[in-house]
Structure formats: C-alpha cells, structure tokens
Structure 1
Amino acid sequence: MGARMSATVPSRLIVAGENTTRIWGLANRERIERLASKAGVGIKTADATALWVNQAYAFDPLWMAHAMATPRLWVMDGDRPALVRDAEAALPTAAGAAMTPPEGATIYRIGDRPVLYNRSLRKQQRPFFEPLTSGNVRRLERESYYGAYKGVTDILTKYLWPEIAFHLTRLAAALRMTPNMVTVIGAVGCVLATLFFLHGNYWAGVAVGFVFMVLDTVDGKLARCTITSSWWGNIFDHGIDLVHPPFWWLAWASGLSAWGLGYGGTTYAWVIGTILIGYVVQRLIEGWFMRRFGFHIHVWRKFDSDFRLITARRNPNMILLVGSLLFGRPDIGLILVACWTALSLLVHFWQAFAAEAQAARGRPVTSWLEN
C-alpha cells in the first residue's frame, strides 16, 4: 500500500529515549531530526498533532513520508510504540513503555514488515524499522542503502554495480563527504571521458566513464542514506545526467577518425541525427507523460518497467559501444546505438498513444506498482 502526502504536517517533533549507536556516521537523534526537517515537521503548520519517535529504533525514510501522509499513525513493536503521529494528549509518555493505541488509530506492526509504495523511487518495498544496536548497524546500513535504490532503472545500475556503489557510499559517509562533492568528482570524470572519446581513446574513456557512472549512483545514495539531499544537489546531479549523453555520442563519432573509421557526410547525419533527435524526443515524451498522468512512464505497466532496463539511455547504449570495441569496430557500435534509439523512440510513442487511448475509454491510467 502507499499514501500521498497529507495537507498538514505535525506541529513538532518529540524524540524519546537514548541511543549511542551511529548509523551512516550519524547519531540516531540527528538522523531522525534530519528526516523530520526534510518532511517539514513544525514548519508553517497549524496541525494539532505531534510526531513522537523512539530513537531506540532506526527506520527507512519511507516511514517518515508515510507518517506525513497518515494522521493518527501508530507504528508498534509488540505493545511498545516506536513512531506515533497523533494528538499530543494521546502520545506515549516514555520510551519503551507499553501502551495501547487509541481507538481509530492506523496501526502498523514492525514485525509484519508491511509493504509500502515508494513513489519517488518507483517501487513497492518492505521498509525496515528495527531496533538500532551496535550488532546490527552494518546490516541496517545495507538495508538503508538498498532501500534507497530505484526499483525501475537501467540494467547496469540495477544489477552490475550496486555492491561497488554500496562500499563507496559507506566510504564517502565515513570521510564526511557531501553528495555534492561526489557529484563534482563524477562531473570531472564525465568531462574527461568526453575528451578521451573525442580523440579516439575509447578504452580510457570507457574506464573513466565507468567511474563516473558508478559515482552517479553513489551521490544519490549518499544523499538519501545521510538525509542530505538538497534542491541544488538534485538540480546539479540530474542536470549532468540529462545534458551529457549527447556530448558523449558526438565525441565518440569525432573520435572515429583516429581509427580510420570516420563516417561520410550522409552516414554521420543520419546516425547522429537519429541519436540526438531520438534522445530529446524520448525525454520530452517522458516529461509529458509525467505531467499528464502524474507518474513516470516507466512504471505504468510491468512491460514499461521491464523495458526501462534496456531503453536507449546512456548505460544500455554503453553496452553496445563497449561490445563494438571488443571487435575493434567502434563505428558499428554507434550505428547500433542509433538503431536502438529509433526503436526505443517507437516504443515511447506507442506507450504515449496507448495511455491516451486508455484514458479516452474512461479507464484510469495508474502505475501497476500501486495496484
């Protein structure tokens, strides 16, 4: 199940109990306060409720979002409250004390590991909510990290480097690096990869590009795990993601001359034209779908989520290019990228047409992950 943000948020945060165990380098009280601050607790609200949290527990950020969307929420560990959003008169009086939720409360029991829908990460998940101790902090950090992973993404991000990125995220947290620091390092790698491609140094570009692509995962996970995401950081990270792929493909095409495999005028025009136009139009369709129906095109039906693994974005395209390098034909690799971009664009047009047709028949267009 899932819930949207309610119109009001609790008027204040109450953190109960004590806990000296740190998670992602943060004291648990600080982590809870960051989560509450991101959710807007106590900021410009007239809500008569408060948010009460027992800091003996650590929980996935999705629980905070769910608390914001669920008035009179009681999250229970047996007969002990762990997180409560309710009128102040009904709140627990002490951490660890047994208490019966009042009549009409929405009750979750952490032992049941309920399924919630994470709209921002496009997935159904069983968010963790457990006692935080020195004996389980490493496991909870791992759960926190994987909980921050998008459920619908490309094949490399989903299957190839989650473990690599996990250890790098832990290292960055231990070094007190901010997500923006990681993004800057990645951006330097992105530019270097472009320059290597431009001069036909493809293997060097692929190596540096691989580092950039992994760091592109690390910065987002670091932000979510340490609760340090920001408006500017989001714009910076996503802006680089959105802008750089066309420059990689243009640089790749220019580097072909160093291999004696440069395209003629006509071939260059249709290959680069197809890639650039296809990339832009696919992005426009995705943006239109989001505004039209309120969710990502990739989470409409299961087919759409599965196709996102391989659709013509940077990472799947790099698989084609690296494969062509193994055979010494980077020129063919870019032609394959152009063909795959055209096919992916056709799929996007079909997705948009099918959604409009369904809406025209009076049938709601909703994500299969929320059903």
Structure 2
Amino acid sequence: MEPFRQARNLPVIFAVGDNPVPIWGMSARERLRRIAAAQDLPFEAGAADTLILANLAFVFDPSWLAWLRNRPGTVLTRGGVPVLAHVAERDRARVSHAMESGGEAPAGLEEMPAEREEGIFNEALRKRERPFAERLVPENVPAIERATYVGAYKGVTDLLTKYLWPEWAFWLTRLAARVGLSPNGVTAIGSLLCIVATIAFWNGWFWSGLAVGLVFMVLDTVDGKLARCTITSSKLGNAWDHGVDLVHPPFWWWAWATGCAAYGRPLSDETFWLVIAAMLFGYVAQRLIEGAFIVRFKMHIHVWERFDSQFRLVTARRNPNMVILFAGLLVGRPDWGIVAVAAWTMLSLVVHLVRLLQAMGRGRRGEPIVSWLA
C-alpha cells in the first residue's frame, strides 16, 4: 500500500450504514455528527486527503475518534470488524464493504483492536483508559450508556466524586437525558442551590446548608457528564460550570466562618481573619501553582506521579474540605471544622509548592517530566 501523504486538511467523517437504536436519546448518526462537531471535524461534507469511516453498527467512545484523527492508515476494530477507519479515498469502497458485511479489516491498514489491554491515555480526563467500542443493539444499550458515563469520569479527582456519588450521578444523568434537560439547565439548578447553601451557611443553618450543598455538588458532576454523554458541550456551558466551580468555594468558607456565631460557636476576631486569610491565600496560590505546572510541563500537576494522583483525592479542594466541615459539625464544633480546613489548605499549598519546585529541579537536570499514567 502506498504511504500516506501528509493530509492538507482535516479528515472528513462519513457514516457507513444506518442504525435506528437510540443511545442517550440520539440516533447513531446524530451522535456521530455531534462527536465530529465537538472535535471540529467536517461531517459528510467538503474535500480532504483522507476520511474517517464510522460503522454505525457500533457505538464508540469519542476519544477513539480523537486518537484516530492523526493516524491515517489505521483502523479500529471490535472482534475483527472495522469500527472506525482513517483511510484514503481509494480505500473507501473496500473498507465500507467490510463494515457493512461484518468482515475483517482489509489488508494494508494498521489494526488497533478495541480489546487491547493497554488502551490509550486520555489527557483531558487525566487517565489511561481502554475506551469502549460495542455493537449498538437494543440489549446492549444499558451497558453502553453506563460505559459512556464511566468513560466521561475523570480518573484523577477527589474522594467524594470518585467513590461516593458516581452511581447517584449516573441515574440523574440518565434521567436528565430522558426528560430532555440540557447540561446548562442542570448547571442553572446547581447554581441556584449553591447560592441557597451559601445563605444557609451564613445564618448558621449548617445541616440544611450541607444537605443543599450535597445536591449541588452531585449536580456539579451531572452537568459535565450529561454534556459528554450527549455530546452537547458548549463554550457557554463550560465557562459557566467552571466559573461557578472557581468562584464559589471562598464564599462558602467565609459564610461558614460567619455562621459559627449564629450557631453559638463564634470565632474570635483574630481567629476569624486568620482563617479567612489562610483560606483565600491558600486557595488562590494553589490554583496558580496548578496553572504554572500546566504551562511549564503541559500536564496537570495531579497526574505527574502516583503520589500526586493519590493526593488529589484529599487535597484542599471543595469536596474534601466539606468532609472536614461535616466531621466538625458531627461533634457540634463547626468552628473547629473551619479552622481545620484553613490549616489543611495551607498544608496542601506547601505540598503543591514542593512538588512544583521538585519538577522544575528535575527539568533543569534534563530529566523528563511525564505523567505516570501515560
């Protein structure tokens, strides 16, 4: 087979076959169109040196398309049958025939079995994964929807998101898709609950605030998963979701510290301002360190080495901090809880600063800084 020339433009996506079985409320063709649009790839229009054929008898994780787009001459298979193939126009007919007939991938293409154990590294979700590629038939839909949901989960995150509410968020994501609620709609509900929780904390209604805050935190997972599962991410939704995530935590901590007085466990003026200063400084400084690591090393600090991924489970972000506040409230001392959160924030800051300096030192010595998940 002749070597592929460097493509002058992006590969065009073409669907092969048809499939009426819906997935997350979409047809297979509509899902493919949304994936192509999300990855800025032309769908069944325009001219290109190469094209990517997608077998609609199967459904696949979007990360496969991102992986395949820069690998002309490669075919993704499941059980030997082509699922996705990045090929030249001259190979279109024989690859399409193999897809429609359920035959094996034509000779001359580099085959990537979806079953291969080592999988691929997904930088966006910070995890090594073996993305799914399965036949889209009615009996497989529940398992496929769960696989798409699991595939949208970050591998490196906090302990609550990773262990406590994945199942809750899955059923809420499925419900939202069934009733046609958009990710931005979920974000809007969550934003309102976030404000309600802040007011509750400010007034010392800690148990009510925790309950409302818990629902908000679960919805904060749902909106992103719904956007990924239904392929409906948008710049507005992304900015709104991340904006709320970035802005609200300091307001929660300030409100909690203030509400201790209404609860009957006031902080002294000196302690109050020390707590607020530590939490604000620690929160901003940690975000700056994370940003500096990304700029310098082109990856998140939490995926550098195994320790960093493990520390992300408990580092002083909103969810682990809420566990500390909950523990303090259990013993009737919300004031102890907020002081503990301030102390943990400063300790986490020191850990992140040390890790950044260590990475910089190794880089200056010529050592490669790569993710342990790669």
TM-score by length of 2: 0.94
Preserved contact between residue 78 and residue 109 of structure 1 (Cα < 8 Å): yes
Post-superposition CA distance 1:211-230 (Å, at most 9, x none):
00000000000000000001
1:52 paired to 2:40: no
Post-superposition CA distance 1:168-190 (Å, at most 9, x none):
00000001111000000000000
Secondary structure at the residue paired with 2:199? Answer: helix
The one-letter code matched in structure 2 to 1:56 is A
Specify the alignment match of 2:188 in structure 1.
Answer: 184
1:17-56 pair list within 5 angstroms: 17-42=17-42, 47-56=48-57
Preserved contact between residue 117 and residue 123 of structure 1 (Cα < 8 Å): yes
C-alpha distance in 2, partners of 1:306/1:205? 29
State the Cα distance separating 1:107 from its structure 2 match.
Answer: 1.2
State the Cα distance separating 1:242 from its structure 2 match.
Answer: 0.5
Secondary structure at the residue paired with 2:106? Answer: coil
Specify the alignment match of 1:66 in structure 2.
Answer: 67
Counterparts in 2 of 1:58 and 1:167: CA distance versus 1, 3 Å: same
Q: Kindly tell me the number of residue pairs found equivalent between the two proteins.
A: 364
Q: Structure 2: which 5+ runs fail to align?
A: 1-5
Post-superposition CA distance 1:38-85 (Å, at most 9, x none):
122228987400111110000111111111232222112344322111
Question: CA-atom RMSD, angstroms?
Answer: 1.7
Specify the alignment match of 1:101 in structure 2.
Answer: 106
The one-letter code matched in structure 1 to 2:96 is T
Q: Point out the more displaced range, 67-76 or 159-168.
A: 67-76
Preserved contact between residue 74 and residue 101 of structure 1 (Cα < 8 Å): no
Specify the alignment match of 1:358 in structure 2.
Answer: 362
Post-superposition CA distance 1:224-271 (Å, at most 9, x none):
000000111111000100000000000001111112221222111211
Counterparts in 2 of 1:123 and 1:199: CA distance versus 1, 3 Å: same
Preserved contact between residue 179 and residue 222 of structure 1 (Cα < 8 Å): yes
State the Cα distance separating 1:10 from its structure 2 match.
Answer: 3.8
1:1-371 pair list within 5 angstroms: 10-42=10-42, 47-91=48-92, 92-94=95-97, 95-97=99-101, 98-103=103-108, 105-112=109-116, 115-370=119-374
C-alpha distance in 2, partners of 1:111/1:267? 57
Specify the alignment match of 2:3 in structure 1.
Answer: none
Preserved contact between residue 9 and residue 68 of structure 1 (Cα < 8 Å): no
The one-letter code matched in structure 2 to 1:52 is L
Q: Point out the more displaced range, 75-84 or 165-174.
A: 75-84
Q: Point out the more displaced range, 11-20 or 296-305.
A: 11-20
Secondary structure at the residue paired with 1:270? Answer: helix
C-alpha distance in 2, partners of 1:354/1:46? 48
Counterparts in 2 of 1:134 and 1:318: CA distance versus 1, 3 Å: same
The one-letter code matched in structure 2 to 1:66 is W
C-alpha distance in 1, partners of 2:69/2:142? 28
Preserved contact between residue 10 and residue 85 of structure 1 (Cα < 8 Å): no
State the Cα distance separating 1:294 from its structure 2 match.
Answer: 0.4
Counterparts in 2 of 1:153 and 1:78: CA distance versus 1, 3 Å: closer
C-alpha distance in 1, partners of 2:83/2:7? 24
The one-letter code matched in structure 2 to 1:62 is S
C-alpha distance in 1, partners of 2:48/2:368? 33
C-alpha distance in 1, partners of 2:8/2:192? 42
Preserved contact between residue 10 and residue 51 of structure 1 (Cα < 8 Å): no
Preserved contact between residue 80 and residue 96 of structure 1 (Cα < 8 Å): no
C-alpha distance in 2, partners of 1:78/1:156? 36
State the Cα distance separating 1:114 from its structure 2 match.
Answer: 5.0
State the Cα distance separating 1:24 from its structure 2 match.
Answer: 0.6
Preserved contact between residue 74 and residue 107 of structure 1 (Cα < 8 Å): yes
Q: Point out the more displaced range, 65-74 or 127-136.
A: 65-74
C-alpha distance in 2, partners of 1:207/1:8? 54
C-alpha distance in 2, partners of 1:328/1:247? 22
Q: Structure 1: which 5+ runs fail to align?
A: 1-5
TM-score by length of 1: 0.94
Preserved contact between residue 74 and residue 87 of structure 2 (Cα < 8 Å): yes
